[in-house]
Amino acid sequence: MLRLRFHGRGGQGAKVASRVLGTAAFLDGYNAQDFPLYGAEKRGAPITAFTRISRENIMERGVISEPDIVIVMDETLLSDPQAMPLSGLKKGGIIFVNTPNSPLETKERYNIADHVITLDITKISLDMIGNPVLSGLAAAVASRIVGIGEDAFRGAVEKELSGIISDRELLVKNTEAALYCYNAIMPVQIKTAESIREGENVITIPFEIALVSSPAINATGNTPLRRTGNWRVFRPVWDYEVCTRCMTCVARCPDGCIHVNEDGYPYADYDNCKGCLICVEECPAKAINKVREMHSRSGEGDR
Ligand code: SF4
Ligand code: SF4
């Protein structure tokens, strides 16, 4: 699995960039997951967006605290103590910085030891599009670093940007600028701790239980304190006679609260299961039944 984190400022397009990358990866045959994280909507405020890419089902949920690749869409974020775009970057990871400076100058200025790639995508955006919206361009450099094919990338740009840009001429300009950036970056061999296959950056990782793979959800101050189990009207109940242990429900639970018992069967953490019943809908074997809660009680998992 590759984990990417985009850092930008409100209005630059970090959220869309993560989306375009996720779609490009999907069109290139991978599984992908992308989502943003921001507080109150405010132009110029630091925002973060994330993309996970894997050959296998993506079991992880929550923010990416240890990325393989960081895309810094605004250089000033590197000295912003709240944004901290380099926090958690894995050893051997890659940092892209949108700057007119060279990689060496950038490393020295910000005291960065890791692999730095630079390109002035703001200038390219202003020259080719006429405004500093960087979504397609940041997605382009990320796609190139990851190793996504050009056809898949082009398809993703056209699909995602056509939904938000109605002006055909502007859409063409965005696509051309994105492809220019894609081809301005050289493919990179990523050397983070999860070693990679020769010539391929996207790898398989073993299954992790939700407490490990979704630490942000399970961390103090999140779901456990809120006891979202109290929200349930129906509870999901597993029929192990029917369950094939495909783990689809584990992957689909938006709160990461389906665990796996010692026999390899899933069960819900009823303290936190909010009863959305996505697991019931998604189970291909119809092995999960919905049972009416007469009163919500926590800690009664059918394990
Ligand atoms: S009902 Fe929703 S929250 Fe509960 S286990 Fe299923 S998917 Fe997760
Ligand atoms: S999705 Fe259904 S069959 Fe697959 S592990 Fe979950 S309950 Fe079992």
Residue 265 lies in a domain: yes
Cβ proximity of 255 and 219 under 8 Å: no
Confidence of residue 55 (pLDDT cuts 50, 70, 90): confident
Same domain, 256 and 161: no
Confidence of residue 62 (pLDDT cuts 50, 70, 90): confident
Instruction: For residue 132, give its domain range.
Output: 2-184
Residue 301 lies in a domain: no
Domain boundary among 184, 219, 254: 184
pTM exceeds cut of 0.75: no
Same domain, 154 and 216: no
Half-sphere exposure of 42 (CA within 13 A, CB side): 7
Same domain, 163 and 237: no
Q: How far is the CA of 67 from the centre of ligand 1 (A)?
A: 27
Rounded Cα–Cα distance for residues 264 and 209 (Å): 11
Residue among 235, 237, 246 to mutate when testing ligand 2 (max atoms within 8 A of CB): 246
CATH code, domain carrying 59 = 3.40.920.10
Same domain, 161 and 229: no
Residue 126 lies in a domain: yes
What are the pLDDT digits (tens) for 164-211? 888 899 999 999 999 999 999 987 877 765 534 445 555 555 556 666
| Ligand 1 lined by 283 (C-beta under 6 Å) | no
Same domain, 180 and 47: yes
Q: Which of 135, 126, 192, 181 is closest to 158 using CA atoms?
A: 135
CATH code, domain carrying 232 = 3.30.70.20
Domain boundary among 150, 184, 218: 184
Question: For the chain, how many structural domains are there in total?
Answer: 2
